[in-house]
Amino acid sequence: MISARDNDRLGESEQLVKGRQMGHKRRARKAFTLVELLVVILIISMLAAFFAPRMFKRLGKSKRDISKAKMAIIEQAVETFNLDCGRYPESLDELLEAPEGLEDKWKGAYLKRSDLLDAWDNPYVYRPEGEVNPGYIDIISFGADGQEGGEGDNADIYND
């Protein structure tokens, strides 16, 4: 026969076994299944595919705007050089170092060397006899590819 004390012990051990099984189930339910993870990855991928092109398009436009703003800085430096020296510079290097024969009039440096690079780190092209702006200077950025011509981010940018 089973005594009351043994019966209590048996009840306790059954409760422990049930408690362990429930605890194990609770722990197992805390983890994600592979299907759930794949669904989340799929949703994130779809969102990225939708928004990424828009973000990169804005990035290209921002670089074009930055290049245009730097052109205005160069243009201002060219005008200041003209006022100080009585002529337009023959190259953009004359904005950084005094040209021969103009050391007494030259009050530069008119720019930092980094101002002579566009947003894609390509050097600006300077044409003292403007082709796009006849009778004035041309400052040109050849865009992302650094080559003349192109479309989109590779399109040439001229000063106004």
Residue 26 belongs to some domain of the structure: no
Whether the predicted pLDDT of 16 surpasses 60: no
Whether the predicted pLDDT of 67 surpasses 60: yes
Predicted TM-score (pTM) above 0.85: no
Residue 17 belongs to some domain of the structure: no
Alpha-carbon distance of 80 to 155, in angstroms, equals 29
When divided into structural domains, the chain yields a total of 1
Structural domain for 118, as ranges = 61-158
CA dihedral for 89, 115, 134, 129, sign (positive or negative): positive
Residue 76 belongs to some domain of the structure: yes
Whether the predicted pLDDT of 139 surpasses 60: yes
Backbone angles phi and psi of 135, in degrees to 5? 80, 0
Nearest to 115 by CA among 103, 123, 107, 127: 123
Residue 70 belongs to some domain of the structure: yes
The residue-averaged pLDDT of 139-152 equals: 86
Q: The CATH number of the domain where 72 resides is what?
A: 3.30.700.10
Alpha-carbon distance of 157 to 135, in angstroms, equals 19
The residue-averaged pLDDT of 61-78 equals: 90
Residue 145 belongs to some domain of the structure: yes
Dump pLDDT digits (tens) for 76-124. Answer: 999 999 999 999 999 999 999 998 888 899 997 899 998 999 989 999 9
Residue 21 belongs to some domain of the structure: no
Residue 9 belongs to some domain of the structure: no
